[in-house]
Amino acid sequence: MGYACPVCDAEEADAVHLANHLAITASLGREEHREWLEEYAPDWADCSPEELGARVSPHAEEIDTPAFEGHDHGHGREPGRPDSLEGAVSRQSRGPGRGDLTAEAADVLQEAAELTREMQADGDDGGDPPADGDGNENA
């Protein structure tokens, strides 16, 4: 028996997979998953997958998950598995509203891009800063 995500109905093999799905999806910026976790497991970010699974699974619908029978928890690329972890994360990040950045994260990324452009324009190859005549680095 597995679980259906209480937010988006994604099928998960067990409570640990459900916990990982909820936490990863919330961390990728999906507000619905984050809000659900804050309501049902306010300290979700401090929980291990096993602890979070035990807290969230009672709120999820139990479902038959024959596609996950024999799942070995290796989490590598599994040929024949209907939905690899990489595929699931990729598909989730492409949905509408998926991966929205906070204003602070967007500012950090914009500043990093500007600094990168400045470094490239200055011809800096990213190596050590040039030293002045005394052998000290210029700051």
Tens of pLDDT, residues 105-139: 777 778 888 888 888 887 755 555 555 555 555 54
DSSP-derived letter for residue 11 is: E
Domain count, the chain: 1
pTM check: above 0.75: no
Question: Range of 35's domain?
Answer: 2-94
Within-domain flag for 64: yes
Within-domain flag for 70: yes
Within-domain flag for 87: yes
Tens of pLDDT, residues 17-67: 999 999 999 988 889 999 999 999 999 999 999 999 999 999 999 988 776
Element (H, E) at 120: helix 103-121
Within-domain flag for 112: no
**Which residue, chain included where needed, has tokens 């049902």?**
40
Within-domain flag for 125: no
| Relative orientation angle of helices 31-40 and 15-27, to the nearest 10 degrees | 120
Within-domain flag for 108: no
